[in-house]
Amino acid sequence: DAGVIQSPRHEVTEMGQEVTLRCKPISGHNSLFWYRQTMMRGLELLIYFNNNVPIDDSGMPEDRFSAKMPNASFSTLKIQPSEPRDSAVYFCASSLGASGGPQHFGDGTRLSIL
Amino acid sequence: QKEVEQNSGPLSVPEGAIASLNCTYSDRGSQSFFWYRQYSGKSPELIMFIYSNGDKEDGRFTAQLNKASQYVSLLIRDSQPSDSATYLCAVNTDKLIFGTGTRLQVFP
């Protein structure tokens, strides 16, 4: 079975540019989560969706970040404009049911903003 | 106080020994508890979850939960060098909160 698929795996871009990260959850999973991981702050939940609806976006750092889930098999996380402090590894995870169940992670996108 | 606390380590154990990883949490209403393993440069991988007080065993791994004392632990028996990784504890209240992880080193 295919796991959570994220793209791109690596992204290097200049400050001020728009960045779009993509995620395809495991088929049949109805919850999707976006995380950011840094050495300083560890793994932080940015936003999660249940049945394509954003449930909790309290972790989104500021208005420069936005996330969408137009259908059950696709989600995007967008940063516009990007800043060097956004450099991190961004993970997408999915689970069956609401937020309480086991989550399965994608391979992540390593983002570097110059 | 952090919501989920783990000792950052590194915890060093010899091959074949038992590794004991501990985690405490602050929210008494937490209902589900997870252990993830993360190799350097890789994504977190779910290895155990536990919902009820007591022990849950899966192969060389045992998760232990004590809700009264608000801690959850992971025991790894017969530790192998391939177990060397960072172990993340995650606790679910209304969302999953991760600890910062304990780095385990198993030396031959």
How many whole angstroms separate alpha carbon A82 and alpha carbon A94?
25
Q: Are the Cβ atoms of A42 and B98 closer than 8 angstroms?
A: yes
pLDDT range class, residue A1, cuts 50, 70, 90? low
pLDDT in tens, A38-85: 988 889 999 999 999 999 999 998 899 999 999 999 999 999 999 999
Q: What is the mean pLDDT of chain A?
A: 94
User: Is B93's Cβ below 8 Å from some Cβ in A?
Assistant: no
Quick one: pLDDT at residue B96? 86
Quick one: pLDDT at residue A98? 72
Q: Are the Cβ atoms of B42 and A107 closer than 8 angstroms?
A: yes
How many whole angstroms separate alpha carbon B76 and alpha carbon B60?
6
Q: Which residues of B touch A34 (CB under 8 A)?
A: none
What are the residues whose beta carbons fall under 8 Å from the beta carbon of B57, sequence distance 6 or more? none
Report whether A1 contacts A102 (CB < 8 A). Answer: no
Q: Of B108, B102, B94, give the one whose Cα is nearest residue B20.
A: B102
Q: Are the Cβ atoms of B95 and A56 closer than 8 angstroms?
A: yes
Q: What is the mean pLDDT of chain B?
A: 94
User: Is B96's Cβ below 8 Å from some Cβ in A?
Assistant: yes
Q: Which residues of A touch B34 (CB under 8 A)?
A: 102-103
What are the residues whose beta carbons fall under 8 Å from the beta carbon of B19, sequence distance 6 or more? B11, B13, B75, B76, B79, B83, B104, B106
* Count of CB pairs separated by less than 8 Å, A with B: 39
How many whole angstroms separate alpha carbon B98 and alpha carbon A85?
21
- Among the partner-chain residues A33, A100, A104, the one whose CB lies closest to the CB of B46 is A104
Q: What is the 3-state secondary structure (H, E, C) of chain B?
A: CCCEECCCCCEEEECCCCEEEEEEECCCCCCEEEEEEECCCCCCEEEEEECCCEEEEECCEEEEEECCCCEEEEEECCCCHHHCEEEEEEEECCCEEECCCEEEEEEC
Mean pLDDT of B40-47: 95
pLDDT in tens, B18-35: 999 999 999 998 989 999
Report whether B25 contacts B72 (CB < 8 A). Answer: yes
pLDDT range class, residue B1, cuts 50, 70, 90? low
User: Is B23's Cβ below 8 Å from some Cβ in A?
Assistant: no
pLDDT at A104 over 70: yes
